[in-house]
Amino acid sequence: MKLRNIYLVLISLLFISWNSAGPKYPTDYFELPLNRSVLLSGTFGELRPGHFHSGIDIKSLKGTSGEIVSASAQGFIARIKVAPGGYGNAIYIAHPNGYTTVYAHLDHFDETVAAYVKEKQYELKKFSVDLYPKPTQFQLNKGQLIGYMGNSGSSSAPHLHFEIRRTSGQVPINPFLFGLQVTDKVRPDIGKLQVYYLSEDLKQIDVREYPLLRTASGRYTIADTLSEGAWRVGFALKTTDKMDGAPNRNGIYELQMQVDDDPRFSFALNEVPFSKTRYLNAHIDYAARQKKKGYYHRCFKLPGNALDIYSRYKNNGVVKLYSNQSQKVSIEVNDINGNISTVTFFIKRDADMSASQIPAAEFSADNEGSLSITKSNFKCTIGTGALYAQTGIDYRTEKSGQNHYSALHHIGSENIPLHKYISISIKPEDLPSALRDKAFVGRLDEEVITNYGGKYSNGYFTASVREFGNYTIEVDTTSPMIKPIQFSSKMQGASRMRFSITDNMPIGGKARGLRYNAHVDGKWILMEYDAKKDMLTHRFDERISTGDHEIVLKVRDDRGNVAEFRRTFTR
């Protein structure tokens, strides 16, 4: 063989191996950030509301905060974020190999980091900070203490949320691809199968739900051949994974579907960039989730789904049915440790096709087009890429109850997912001009009104929303509530003071949550805000000396209603 040909062969071999195996990750670089074996309450790619879980959740040993969290590898602290929700207290460590590790929901930081953060909070006069220290400031060795496990931010119990990201682009990657290990010999659990009747342009016509028969460990089936009145169908599986020693239902890693032993659809949860994580709403059966039936993984890809987790096969997993020939469908589900479960069943087309009528809707739009709806006192604009597939959208209106300053406008269905914000404009009726500043676009769901904010212009209130449903105009003239939880005029010996702050209604869309500030003797003081507990906490330090003081705490809601708490106290 000529040298040139050898080079060509080598180059194509390299290309093939990269293509089939995907990028390689270093498997001996990172260690778990806890100095013990761990149990997980969440896996990478697990299905969560509006996103794929971007890391692993490590359970605390005894259900309490305070366990030591250490650096997964050598590096430096590149970012420190403090927020009342989300990741709470979070540390980001950049490593010289091009990856970043993230440690979230920490109870508190290591002493030197905590002092730096507090200084910045006083400098910026803000509790929520997003800091990027110089690379030389906090250099860390592998295993060095960085903070303590906790429950800060949007966390429902003490745990450590741990991520590994590619530093460039901050793309979260499955941490178990880096050689980290958790004992797991339990096979994934497969709950139910759903079959969707699909039109040629993949509009959903009907859906059927089937319980599965477990015939052996990891083996599931449906006894009878499915006979469906549809030209083409898609499938979805409700499936989760348990691990050794923990009751938690975590996410699966991989799914592969074959029809008559021919690969038709597969996905693997290796990487999900934040820019695409909301496509979860297209990956799952959103309507089933809305109806509280849990998370179903679709085994076919909707046209507007831009996730990169799928392999490309003909028809994207959509299966044509034949009346004279039943096909064998086999769906295999894997966890990251290679435990496998499989469901196998047969399906054919039924002679009765009466269920295959596309339901009529007043409007229709798909993922590529846009749609503007104009009705009496109501407008709605759905932009390109807001929907995931060809979708029927209905509109109707009815009189609304008292306290509403417009009719109730029903647009679409709460079972239809929206990827992007759409705009809703409603013309207020009989709204006194003095109340205009306090009026908002509200979404009514089971008697509860949610404030979606909105601006008044040209006779209409316009708000951005990412849910279809029932919208109306309402006003909010009620101030937030401030309730002292740990406070009295005699604070001698107290380590902290606490106040609960609450509002009269929930917010959605782009409406703003409660904003607050606290001053003692006219000077700004740090109040840590835990949004899930509605709690403000000030920890006393040398900034407030012994003696008499006055505290002023102000809280403001989205519509500018203000509450004030003003008292004197002795420390």
Chain residues in the site for Zn ion (CB under 5 A)? 42, 57, 161
CB of residue 161 vs Zn ion: minimum separation in angstroms?
3
Nearest CB to Zn ion, comparing residues 45 and 188 = 45
What is the rounded CA–CA span in Å between residue 241 and residue 250?
5
Nearest CB to Zn ion, comparing residues 173 and 236 = 173
- Distance (Å) of CA 436 to CA 8, 11, 400, 427, 558: 72, 68, 19, 12, 14
What is the rounded CA–CA span in Å between residue 535 and residue 528?
8
What is the rounded CA–CA span in Å between residue 381 and residue 343?
42
Task: Give 440's strand partners.
Answer: 474
CB of residue 32 vs Zn ion: minimum separation in angstroms?
15
Nearest CB to Zn ion, comparing residues 102 and 257 = 102
Which of helix, strand or coil describes residue 356? helix
Q: Are 228 and 216 in contact (CB under 8 A)?
A: no
Nearest CB to Zn ion, comparing residues 87 and 265 = 87
Which of helix, strand or coil describes residue 152? coil
CB of residue 58 vs Zn ion: minimum separation in angstroms?
9
Nearest CB to Zn ion, comparing residues 42 and 509 = 42
CB of residue 55 vs Zn ion: minimum separation in angstroms?
5
Nearest CB to Zn ion, comparing residues 160 and 422 = 160
Which residue bears the tokens 């029927």?
Answer: 392
Q: Are 269 and 309 in contact (CB under 8 A)?
A: yes
Nearest CB to Zn ion, comparing residues 150 and 317 = 150
**For the residues of 160-192, what is the DSSP string, one character each?**
EEEEEEETTTTEEE-GGGGT------PPPEEEE
What is the rounded CA–CA span in Å between residue 344 and residue 392?
33
CB of residue 54 vs Zn ion: minimum separation in angstroms?
7
Query: Which residue's beta carbon is nearest to the bound Zn ion?
Result: 161
Nearest CB to Zn ion, comparing residues 161 and 192 = 161
Nearest CB to Zn ion, comparing residues 44 and 569 = 44
- Distance (Å) of CA 205 to CA 229, 234, 288, 387, 399: 11, 11, 15, 16, 31
The phi and psi torsions of 20 (rounded to 5 degrees) equal: -80, -35
Nearest CB to Zn ion, comparing residues 45 and 317 = 45
Contacts of 74 (CB under 8 A, 6+ apart): 95, 96, 140, 141, 142
Task: Give 562's strand partners.
Answer: 556
Q: What is the signed CA dihedral for 332, 336, 339, 341, rounded to 10 degrees? A: -20
Q: Are 244 and 186 in contact (CB under 8 A)?
A: yes
CB of residue 85 vs Zn ion: minimum separation in angstroms?
13
CB of residue 467 vs Zn ion: minimum separation in angstroms?
24
Nearest CB to Zn ion, comparing residues 161 and 498 = 161
**For the residues of 69-133, what is the DSSP string, one character each?**
EE-SSSEEEEEEEE-SSTTSEEEEEE-TTSEEEEEEEESEE-HHHHHHHHHHHHHHT-SSEEE--
Question: Which two three-digit tokens encode residue 254?
Answer: 């991989």
**For the residues of 502-524, what is the DSSP string, one character each?**
E-SS-B-TT----EEEEEETTEE
Which DSSP helix (H) or strand (E) runs through 425?
Answer: strand 422-426
Nearest CB to Zn ion, comparing residues 86 and 303 = 86
Nearest CB to Zn ion, comparing residues 43 and 390 = 43
Question: Which two three-digit tokens encode residue 96?
Answer: 């010289």
Q: Are 248 and 242 in contact (CB under 8 A)?
A: yes
Q: What is the DSSP letter of 461?
A: E
CB of residue 329 vs Zn ion: minimum separation in angstroms?
33
CB of residue 53 vs Zn ion: minimum separation in angstroms?
6
CB of residue 42 vs Zn ion: minimum separation in angstroms?
5
Nearest CB to Zn ion, comparing residues 161 and 556 = 161
